[in-house]
Amino acid sequence: MSVDSDPAGPADQTPTGESALALTRRARRMARLLQERYPDAHCELDFEDAFQLLVATVLSAQTTDVRVNGVTPTLFARFPDAHALATADRAEVEAIIQPTGFFRAKTESLLKLGAALVERFEGQVPARLTDLVTLPGVGRKTANVVLGNAFDVPGITVDTHVGRLARRFGWTDAEDPVAVEHAVGALFPRREWTQLSHVLIFHGRRTCHARKPACGACPVARLCPAYGVGETDPVAAAALVRTAPRA
């Protein structure tokens, strides 16, 4: 991988040693190439409204979107809104969401979430980050998912995939999710943040895996400082690429 140098000045304390301008240019080229690879990148949680997306995102912790999508139709048919969830029977909720793992803790969060929405927001999901993060079980990651996909408010969702790729790409060396969010956000126009998150998550799930990335089948290999940490042989790498998220 060759990192472009910027003749305008010295490196500005970026993780790769390139100037801030060069880093921004490289990051945006990478994003364009990834968008070409994943033109249909989107939120892979099934939902019909902000309430459903909020609940599904809370359930997605420590599990896959596929498993969450497997339980939410039953959950929402039984508890279609915050008022119903706030008065739900704990054992019934636990039985429905058990396949997602940590079902007792998640049930506790969902019951408290429903109650908080009813008591403080008249049963409606608020459309501001400062309000969302005050809700039980909701952090910045969940809030940005809801804002970007239910309210069209741009946000960067720093899950494990986005954090891993941002560091591998040399966009940041931060480990703290909030620091990653701000560092990545500084490289791109605000209007692109939500779609950028989708593209990075798609790439992380399908190609740039945590344990064995498919470097030889990666569309941004020539721009990536981490090229070579995974399989570089094109044929072997292609076999590692997933066409769908893990179940």
Q: What is the pLDDT of residues 60-108, one digit of tens each?
A: 999 999 999 999 999 999 999 999 999 999 999 999 999 999 999 999 9
Give the pLDDT of residue 12: 60
Residues 6+ away with beta carbon under 8 Å from 72? 45, 46, 47, 52, 55, 56, 59
- In 3D, which of 66, 59, 215, 84 has the Cα closest to residue 142? 59
State the Cα–Cα distance between residues 46 and 101, nearest whole angstrom.
Answer: 18
Q: Residue 44 domain-assigned?
A: no
Residues 6+ away with beta carbon under 8 Å from 39? none
4, 141, 176, 233: which is the annotated catalytic residue?
A: 141
Domain enclosing residue 179, as ranges: 20-37+156-240
What total number of domains does the chain contain? 2
6, 65, 106, 159: which is the annotated catalytic residue?
A: 159
Asked whether residue 28 falls in the same domain as residue 65, the answer is no
Asked whether residue 135 falls in the same domain as residue 160, the answer is no
Could you read off the pLDDT of 147-182 as tens digits, one per residue?
Answer: 999 999 999 999 999 999 999 999 999 999 999 999
Could you read off the pLDDT of 11-33 as tens digits, one per residue?
Answer: 467 999 999 999 999 999 999 99
Q: Residue 246 domain-assigned?
A: no
Asked whether residue 127 falls in the same domain as residue 69, the answer is yes
Last residue of a domain, one of 84, 118, 150: 150
Q: Residue 77 domain-assigned?
A: yes
Report, in this order, helix, strand and coil percent for the chain, each rounded to 5.
55, 0, 45
214: domain CATH number is 1.10.1670.10
The amino acid at residue 164 is: R
Our answer to whether residue 141 is catalytic in this structure is: yes
Q: Are 3 and 26 in contact (CB under 8 A)?
A: yes
Asked whether residue 185 falls in the same domain as residue 236, the answer is yes
Asked whether residue 65 falls in the same domain as residue 102, the answer is yes
Asked whether residue 28 falls in the same domain as residue 97, the answer is no
46, pLDDT greater than 50: yes
State the Cα–Cα distance between residues 157 and 113, nearest whole angstrom.
Answer: 20
Asked whether residue 118 falls in the same domain as residue 191, the answer is no
Asked whether residue 56 falls in the same domain as residue 145, the answer is yes
Q: Are 110 and 21 in contact (CB under 8 A)?
A: no
Q: Residue 247 domain-assigned?
A: no
Asked whether residue 146 falls in the same domain as residue 59, the answer is yes
Give the pLDDT of residue 215: 98
Give the pLDDT of residue 33: 98
Our answer to whether residue 212 is catalytic in this structure is: no
117: domain CATH number is 1.10.340.30
Asked whether residue 107 falls in the same domain as residue 189, the answer is no
Q: The pTM is what? A: 0.91
Q: Residue 4 domain-assigned?
A: no
